[in-house]
Amino acid sequence: PPTKEDVRDFFKDRVNMRVLIFYVGIGLSLIASGDLFFQGLRSWISKWGEGILVFYCVRIFLKKEQIKKLIYLFCIVAFFIALDGLCQKFYGRDFIRGFRLVAASGFTAIRATFSYYNGYATFLVVLFFMTLGTVFQLDSRKIRIAGILSMVVLGFNLFFTYSRGAWVA
């Protein structure tokens, strides 16, 4: 069993605290979920275990440079999926899977390649902040501008998911 020192060391680690704050922030978004509160709560609790497992597997098995490359790859993928969301917003259908817009709260929400717009919104929130953190670590001005453009596209997509919970997150 963990000792008091192990617990103290866990909470002193800046990365662990950031991950914990991130998950608490996701949990706070449940406030805006309305009638779907308990469904969202079950989903949030089940994702805790999955997220923590992935986080620690990455932290244990990958080196810092490999993690950076993985984050850059996620940012690039997010940009292309966000372009897919823009296509869906303007043409009514995404170009990757052919999904149409979906009715949500009196609006037609985008969902890009995701089955449900709230899932897409969650993806966007995570990748928006991942891109934000990455932009400030880049040396190249051109790549930094591309990252900022990507964040604008991700933000636009997030707005048009009409996912209030994701907006709160």
H or E element, residue 105: none
State the CB neighbour count (10 A cutoff) for residue 8.
10
Digits of tens for pLDDT over the chain (169 positions)?
A: 678 888 888 888 888 888 888 778 878 878 877 888 888 888 877 876 677 777 777 777 778 888 888 888 888 888 898 899 888 889 888 888 888 888 776 778 888 888 888 888 888 998 888 888 888 887 888 888 888 898 999 999 998 888 877 787 7
In a 13 Å sphere around the CA of 84, the CA atoms on its Cβ side amount to 19
Tokens of 44: 């949030």
SS3 14: helix
Tokens of 94: 């995404």
Give the predicted TM-score (pTM) of the model: 0.65
- Do 58 and 94 form a contact (C-beta atoms < 8 A)? no
Tokens of 127: 């990748």
SS3 61: helix
Dihedral sign, CA of 167, 85, 138, 20?
positive
